[in-house]
Amino acid sequence: MAWPWSSDLFPWITSFFAVLLFFKFLLKFKNASSKSKQLPPGPPGWPIIGNMLDLGEVPHQTLQNLQTKYGPVIWLRLGAINTMVVQSAEAAAELFKKCDLPFADRKVPDSLTALDYYQGSVAIGHYGDYWRKLRRICTTEFLVHKRINASIALRQKCIDNLIEWIKQDAEKERKNGGSGEIELDRFLFVTAFNVIGNLMLSRDVMDAKLEKASEFFDLFLVFMEWTGKPNLADFLPFLKWFDPQRIRRNSEKYLERLLEIAGGIVKDRIKEKQSGVEKKTHDFLDALLDDEGDHNAQGPDKLTEKNITIVLLEMFFGGTETTSSTIEWGMSQLLRNPDSMKKLQDEIDRVVGRDRKVVESDLNNLPYLQATVKEILRLNPVFPMLLPRNSMQDTEFMGYVVPKNTQIFVNAWAIHRDPASWVDPLSFKPERFLDSDIDYKGQHFELLPFGSGRRTCIGLTLGHRMVCLTLASLVQAFDWSLKKGIKPESLDMSEKVGLTMRKMVPLKVIPTPRE
């Protein structure tokens, strides 16, 4: 019986098996070397691709399942990238308390190397003098409590617009013979977008009627879609030059136009400042330009016009998707748990009443609201594995040796569901936080939605206020229900993982004004 290939193919087949054997030998050698270096335990990997197939479609869930076999610290080889995953509060405490500095660098996705975006970024920029300077400006000028308090009226205006948009859209849908059902996520996204616009530029950046999105908004959405796609070039660096999925090229195309638009805003503000025209408000863009105009600043840490434009974009990226997704997850959880929705609504009616709108000064007097938001952040962290860190040197960690240039994930999603830290961890129970001092600010390592240490999310305070105020306003203004035939417990809560964790199926819901 003849073999099912011709003799012409035989040399190619033998070469193929020879290569496989060679890589198998290298893998054994590497595993032996790994043991001598006392790397954390982890599943064996395939030649070339390593553990890439072990991640599945929802990596944070898959990795949590591996914890049973390998423990709270897991070692993976994702293509050519050494990776360590931390999945318990104890391990996270060790990382942020003892190894925060050597692990303070970032792994930069290939899509965000387009047009050197990462070099001007505070979120994914490499750790160094420029990054420290940029973070200082962001925390002292943009996100300091004084400036956030001074912008209360701007946020309230955006929330008022949100409530009005929802009323109008639901009424329009009813007049067209529908049930009044709306898709909530687009309203939340535009609201968050305008909040950032007001803080950065002292004005709305989106059309209030939601009928025509600006070019900036459209480009923004497409760019985020491309940068959130899984990219083989991130795991197999030799593919970066080829860019086989065209992710970097497409990211660059949309980023270039975004930078043109944002750059135009920056140039206009520079001309305005040079003309001597006095502004009534001093916003974040003014603060950045004040630093750019500091002629004493020299060297690579000088804030250039291009980097100011990148920071401007990044504030929209960081403050829009995270806030809107968190609120959408929160409303979904409350719809699945009507008792919690009623308790929250009753608290707001009792403390605020029905004759006025809930405002930011009310938030500290609403303990069930605060507990509800903490529970939302626990079960649905928008960055389920935070943003990946990168080790700057060989580092000892919990008895292991973590080599330089190791990618480090903190699986907050798994930590937030760890039975060792939480009673009945899979259930939505805001009550667990009513008599608890556990907070989300990075000092309680069982709850890390914003991270901890040097790379803590700089938008923590603003983001929390926006989530609390928006959620309270939605619950106060409307009674919420699902379309007839959909039971609360059957509401789809599946996850779509990209740059952030979003709902796979956008939330559709019926708002009824409480008037």
Residue-wise pLDDT for 488-508, tens only, equals 999 999 998 887 899 999 999
Domain range annotation of the chain: 108-384+417-491+502-513
User: What pLDDT is attached to residue 83?
Assistant: 98
Q: What confidence tier does 151 reach under pLDDT thresholds 50, 70, 90?
A: confident
CB within 8 Å of 3: residues ≥ 6 apart: none
Angle CA 53–55–58, to nearest 5: 130
| % of the chain at pLDDT higher than 90 | 65
- Over 60: is that where the pLDDT of 17 sits? no
Paired with 410 in beta bridges are 86
pLDDT in tens, 201-214: 877 776 545 444 56
**Range in 153-167, 219-233, 459-473 with the lowest mean pLDDT:** 219-233
First to last CA, the chain: 84
3-state helix, strand, coil in the chain (%, to 5): 55, 10, 35
Neighbours of 354 (CB within 10 A): 9
The Cα 448–Cα 415 span in angstroms is 8
pLDDT tens by residue, 294-304:
544 544 567 88
In the sheet with 182-183, reading across from the earlier edge strand, the strands are 182-183, 508-513, 478-481
CA-CA distances (angstroms) from residue 237 to 114, 186, 233, 283, 461?
A: 15, 36, 5, 40, 37
Q: What is the CATH number of domain 108-384+417-491+502-513?
A: 1.10.630.10
Cβ contacts of 340 within 8 Å, gap of 6 or more:
333, 334, 372, 428, 430
Which amino acid belongs to residue 143?
L
